[in-house]
């Protein structure tokens, strides 16, 4: 098992290229199941989760090839020979449930194991199930698997999600593209990854309007065709690397970054004393004079502050001037990084879904353990601002969402290396 060692080394300077979005790519890949014709994705991130989705699609009979060093994914689902997504694959990644809607729409049946992923909360499937049942699906839970069928095909409907769930929105939109008639999905999630999915589906021949708003309208078509589509920039990786010069000092340009992807996050950085400037090639981020100022944060669905940047923001607030309150409203178990940051000298009090961070002058390097994907990178960021050496273990979580972290941070002056544990 690998660890990452970070040694605080002062200000950072240079450029960091931002990859295609993991969460967008994991949503786009199952879209291949909707068509017999090829779907090609460019600007794909090279991550272990992408490999897991590749394995899952191949297990269903899809052909999946990674080209150009993994940055192009060529897929074809012309000859699907299996409609069961087995537990041994699905348990590794929450996004595996996104094969449910497409298989149900095209094949009229699907058997999908209840999913896994990071241990940050229950994240139930009830929102997916109720939406697909509204489209006419019959779904039963047996032995840990969702058994879904639509023998007469799916039918358009009007359905309102109880919560603006990203995954439920994605599953429902994909399923509705091949349903008979018109589907109106209310209280839909508005994340950029959903907008990106709709743009891809539209290239495949889907008739969809309203992406990026709370109401999405889908007019079902008989079939979809092939397409080529670039994966949108990863706004979570973007926000993560924007924190790097904020916490360590210096100035870094995040290549490919766009302010519209991280508006709420950038506003909090500005309030904390961090300059964010759009350039022709990305976003330039620099810490202004003096210590970072403490700012309160409340995670919300898009366009609010992303829950996937909460851990990174907590790391920044550890050395801020004053006290910051972080309210986590999306997941009920997402402060597992707090005890690890405390090992580095942070002053953090957690009460249920709220954490108070009292800023300290300096963190101190320590051995810490990653508990989930975003927690792992928050500990690396904290290490950039710490005195001495920080060793982050269990970094296999990191590989699910960040490619080449060591290379990207080393290129802007960080002292960081990946080592094999004895």
Cα atoms in the Cβ-side hemisphere of radius 13 Å centred on 190: 15
Whether 249 has a pLDDT exceeding 50, the answer reads yes
Q: Which of 118, 200, 254, 318 is catalytic?
A: 118
Percent pLDDT > 70 in the chain is 97
> pLDDT value at position 144?
86
Whether 157 has a pLDDT exceeding 80, the answer reads yes
Whether 151 has a pLDDT exceeding 80, the answer reads yes
In terms of pLDDT, which residue wins out, 123 or 150? 150
> pLDDT value at position 239?
98
- Distant-in-sequence contacts of 295-299, Cβ < 8 A, 24+ apart: 295/268, 295/271, 295/320, 295/324, 296/324, 296/325, 296/326, 296/327, 297/268, 297/324, 297/325, 297/326, 297/327, 298/326, 298/327, 298/329, 299/326, 299/327, 299/328, 299/329, 299/330
> pLDDT value at position 287?
93
- The stretch 237-265 carries a mean pLDDT of 97
Please indicate if the annotation marks 418 as binding a ligand: no
- The stretch 366-374 carries a mean pLDDT of 89
Neighbours of 158 (CB within 10 A): 12
> pLDDT value at position 289?
80
> pLDDT value at position 330?
87
Q: Whole-angstrom Cα distance, residue 402 to residue 211?
A: 27
Angle at alpha carbon of residue 224, lines to 19 and 105, rounded to 5°: 95
Whether 374 has a pLDDT exceeding 90, the answer reads no
CA-CA distances (angstroms) from residue 312 to 39, 168, 206, 319? 34, 26, 37, 12
Q: Whole-angstrom Cα distance, residue 273 to residue 289?
A: 8
> pLDDT value at position 92?
85
> pLDDT value at position 122?
44
Residue 318 appears among annotated catalytic residues: no
> pLDDT value at position 124?
66
Longest Cα separation, the chain:
65
pLDDT band at 397 (very low <50, low <70, confident <90, very high): confident
| CA dihedral angle for residue 376, residue 377, residue 379, residue 382, rounded to 10 degrees | 180
- The stretch 400-418 carries a mean pLDDT of 95
Is 191:330 a contact under the CB 8 Å cutoff? no
Please indicate if the annotation marks 327 as binding a ligand: no
- The stretch 92-103 carries a mean pLDDT of 92
Please indicate if the annotation marks 57 as binding a ligand: no
Whether 121 has a pLDDT exceeding 90, the answer reads no
Cα atoms in the Cβ-side hemisphere of radius 13 Å centred on 172: 37
Contacts of 84 (CB under 8 A, 6+ apart): 60, 110, 111, 112, 145
**Given the DSSP bridges, would you call strands 227-230 and 39-42 parallel, antiparallel or unpaired?**
parallel
pLDDT band at 375 (very low <50, low <70, confident <90, very high): confident
Torsion over CA: 176, 177, 183, 189 (sign): positive
The model's pLDDT over 36-46, given as tens digits with 9 standing for 90+, comes to: 999 999 999 99
Please indicate if the annotation marks 124 as binding a ligand: yes
For residue 51, give both structure tokens: 């490999």
Return mean pLDDT, the chain: 94
Whether 119 has a pLDDT exceeding 50, the answer reads no
For residue 271, give both structure tokens: 């309030």
> pLDDT value at position 422?
63
The pTM (predicted TM-score) of the whole model is 0.90
pLDDT band at 70 (very low <50, low <70, confident <90, very high): confident
Q: Whole-angstrom Cα distance, residue 231 to residue 228?
A: 10
Q: Whole-angstrom Cα distance, residue 323 to residue 128?
A: 39
In terms of pLDDT, which residue wins out, 12 or 141? 12
Set out the domains of the chain in order of their start, with CATH numbers: 2-19+233-420 (3.65.10.10), 22-230 (3.65.10.10)
> pLDDT value at position 118?
41
Q: Poorest-confidence range of 117-126, 224-233, 267-276, 353-362?
A: 117-126
Percent pLDDT > 90 in the chain is 85
Contacts of 224 (CB under 8 A, 6+ apart): 34, 35, 37, 177, 178, 201, 204, 205, 206
> End-to-end alpha-carbon separation of the chain, Å?
8
pLDDT band at 421 (very low <50, low <70, confident <90, very high): confident
> pLDDT value at position 120?
36
- The stretch 75-103 carries a mean pLDDT of 93
The model's pLDDT over 291-338, given as tens digits with 9 standing for 90+, comes to: 999 999 999 989 999 999 999 999 999 999 999 999 999 877 789 899
Please indicate if the annotation marks 94 as binding a ligand: yes
Please indicate if the annotation marks 123 as binding a ligand: yes
> pLDDT value at position 378?
96
């Amino acid at each position: 098992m690998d660890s990452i060692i970070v040694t605080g080394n002062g200000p950072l300077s240079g450029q960091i290229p931002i990859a295609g979005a993991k969460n967008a790519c994991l949503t786009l890949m199952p879209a291949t199941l909707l068509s017999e014709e090829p779907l090609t994705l460019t600007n794909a991130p090279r991550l272990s989760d992408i490999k897991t989705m590749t394995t899952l699609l191949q297990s269903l009979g899809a052909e999946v090839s990674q080209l150009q060093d993994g940055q192009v994914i060529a897929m074809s689902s012309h000859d699907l020979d299996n409609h069961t997504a087995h537990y041994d694959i699905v348990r590794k990644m929450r996004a595996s449930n996104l094969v449910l809607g497409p298989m149900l729409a095209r094949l009229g049946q699907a058997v999908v194991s209840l999913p896994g992923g990071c241990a940050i909360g229950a994240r139930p499937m009830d929102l997916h199930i109720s939406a697909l049942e509204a489209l006419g699906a019959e779904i039963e839970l047996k032995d840990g698997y969702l058994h879904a069928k639509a023998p007469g095909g799916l039918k358009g409907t009007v359905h309102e999600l109880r919560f603006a769930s990203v995954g439920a929105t994605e599953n429902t939109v994909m399923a509705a593209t091949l349903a008979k008639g018109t589907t109106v999905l209310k209280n839909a999630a508005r994340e950029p990854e959903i907008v990106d999915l709709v743009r891809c589906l539209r290239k495949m021949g889907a008739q969809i309007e309203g992406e990026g708003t709370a109401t999405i309208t889908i007019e079902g078509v008989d079939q979809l065709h092939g397409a080529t589509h670039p994966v949108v920039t990863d706004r979570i990786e973007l926000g993560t690397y924007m924190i790097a010069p904020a916490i360590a000092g210096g100035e870094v340009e995040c290549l490919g970054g766009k302010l519209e992807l991280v508006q709420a996050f950038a506003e909090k950085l500005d309030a904390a004393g961090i300059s964010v400037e759009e350039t022709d090639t990305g976003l330039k981020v620099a810490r202004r004079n003096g210590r970072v100022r403490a700012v309160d944060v409340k995670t919300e669905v898009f366009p609010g502050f992303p829950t996937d940047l909460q851990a990174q923001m907590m790391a920044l607030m550890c050395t801020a001037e004053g006290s910051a309150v972080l309210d986590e409203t999306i997941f009920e178990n997402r402060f597992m990084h707090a005890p690890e940051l405390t090992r580095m000298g942070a002053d953090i009090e957690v009460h249920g879904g709220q954490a108070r961070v009292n800023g300290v002058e300096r963190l101190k390097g320590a051995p810490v353990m990653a508990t989930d994907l975003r927690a792992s990178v928050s500990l690396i960021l904290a290490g950039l601002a710490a005195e001495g050496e920080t060793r982050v273990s269990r970094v296999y979580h990191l590989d699910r969402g960040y490619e080449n972290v060591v290379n990207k941070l080393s290129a802007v002056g960080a002292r960081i290396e990946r080592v094999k544990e004895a």
